[in-house]
């Protein structure tokens, strides 16, 4: 007799837990509101005796990314199935047929701006089996001044390599990139890394006070010099997101099983911020003015003129400047 046990079927409330979703234990194979995670879809494909096709990432229906030279953005999409092979269609066009291994096959999907309809099709004997997923893709133009895909907005998490979908506001956050002329990105600095007793983490796992969008604030770039966007002339809103992640004290959390964060000597951090040569923040001292792990958002109206775009510049007074995230959208 052979058996198995899964911990846990559903995410559940856990007051002491922090992480990216504070007060929620996210080890379930469904979300708190019973949305199906990829692990659930995989188990279903492995254990179901009836034909199954599940397109993965079905909780990620708003995506975004940079346009390539062909006007597309390629991202991987998994399909979970108990069939031998799967053909995937994007907006009615076949992307080819793939063999299935261990109940998974992965397609490289060339998303286009706007609505993208994915159809996964397979055969079980004479019966056609299919699944469909619609994705709203927010393309960032390869050249921010081009007219083919006009620039509307961009939301970037600094020091991050991950995407984050804010479903409440229908906003997609992108990982950072180095500045590319004609496009966007940061200049200078390094990714924040949280030191622990057994190693390190790529992001803070602490609860960020004053926000429900913890993932946006749980990474940062330290020592940043500038963030540039070569946008067309016009009026824009620039939102700068800050949170001091480095703590002088270490908090012990039982569920970390000893791999807790190590207290670090942050020292004093004071810096100025200017946008297109105009100072907008003077001698900002986040820890002193707001405390550690506190979400701060500063909003500015900016005019891009003479084809120079937008340049957000950071000037150290003491210690290294930081930026956790940035959101820019066009007003007109």
Q: Assign residue 190 the CATH number of its domain.
A: 2.60.120
Shared domain check, 320 and 181: yes
pLDDT of amino acid 22: 82
Please, which pLDDT band fits residue 258 given cuts at 50, 70 and 90?
Answer: low
Question: Of 137, 167, 194, which marks where a domain is finished?
Answer: 137
| Total of domains in the chain | 2
With respect to residue 113, please indicate whether it lies within any of the assigned structural domains.
yes
Per the domain annotation, does 2 fall within a domain? no
Q: Tokens 């001698």 sit at which residue?
A: 283
pTM, two decimal places? 0.91
Q: Are residues 200 and 264 in the same domain?
A: yes
In a domain, 202, yes or no: yes
Residue 162, in any domain of the structure: yes
Q: Are residues 245 and 220 in the same domain?
A: yes
Same domain, residue pair 226 and 319: yes
The reported pLDDT for the residue numbered 261 is: 66
Q: Do residues 68 and 201 both lie within one domain? A: no
Same domain, 185 and 322: yes
Whether 303 is covered by a domain: the verdict is yes
Answer whether residue 214 is part of any domain: yes
Nearest to 111 by CA among 65, 79, 153, 152: 65
Q: Give domain status of residue 17, yes or no.
A: no
Q: Which of 14-23, 134-143, 162-171 has the lowest mean pLDDT?
A: 14-23
Same domain for 88 and 187: no
Residues 159 and 277 in one domain: yes
Confidence of residue 233 (pLDDT cuts 50, 70, 90): very high
Domain containing 91 equals 36-137
Let me know if residue 240 belongs to a domain. yes
Verify that 192 and 257 share a domain, yes or no: yes
> Could you tell me if 111 and 213 lie in one domain?
no
């Amino acid at each position: 007799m052979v058996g198995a046990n899964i911990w846990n079927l559903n995410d559940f409330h856990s007051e002491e837990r922090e992480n990216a979703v504070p007060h929620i234990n996210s080890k379930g194979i469904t979300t708190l509101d019973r949305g199906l995670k990829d692990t659930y879809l995989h188990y279903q494909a492995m254990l179901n005796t009836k034909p199954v096709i599940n397109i993965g990432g079905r909780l990620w229906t708003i995506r975004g990314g940079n346009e390539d030279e062909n006007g597309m953005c390629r991202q991987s999409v998994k399909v979970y199935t108990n069939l031998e092979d799967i053909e995937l269609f994007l907006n009615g066009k076949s992307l080819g047929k793939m063999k299935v291994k261990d109940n998974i096959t992965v397609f490289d999907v060339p998303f286009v701006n706007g609505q993208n309809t994915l159809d996964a099709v397979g055969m079980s004997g004479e019966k056609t089996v299919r699944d469909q997923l619609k994705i709203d893709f927010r393309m960032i133009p390869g050249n921010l001044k081009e007219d083919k895909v006009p620039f509307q907005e961009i939301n970037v998490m600094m020091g991050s390599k991950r995407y984050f979908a804010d479903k409440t506001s229908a906003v997609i956050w992108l990982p950072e990139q180095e500045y590319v002329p004609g496009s966007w990105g940061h200049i200078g600095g390094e990714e924040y890394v949280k030191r622990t007793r057994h190693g390190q983490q790529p992001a803070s796992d602490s609860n960020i006070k004053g926000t429900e969008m913890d993932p946006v604030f749980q990474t940062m770039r330290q020592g940043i010099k500038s963030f540039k966007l070569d946008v067309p002339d016009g009026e824009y809103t620039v939102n700068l997101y800050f949170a001091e992640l480095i703590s002088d004290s270490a908090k012990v959390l039982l569920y970390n099983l000893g791999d807790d964060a190590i207290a670090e000597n942050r020292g004093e951090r004071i810096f100025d911020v200017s946008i297109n040569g105009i100072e907008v923040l003077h001698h900002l001292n986040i820890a002193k003015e707001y405390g550690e792990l506190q979400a701060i958002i500063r909003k500015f109206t900016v005019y891009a003129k003479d084809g120079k775009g937008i340049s957000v510049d950071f000037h150290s007074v003491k210690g290294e400047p930081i930026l956790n995230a940035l959101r820019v959208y066009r007003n007109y």
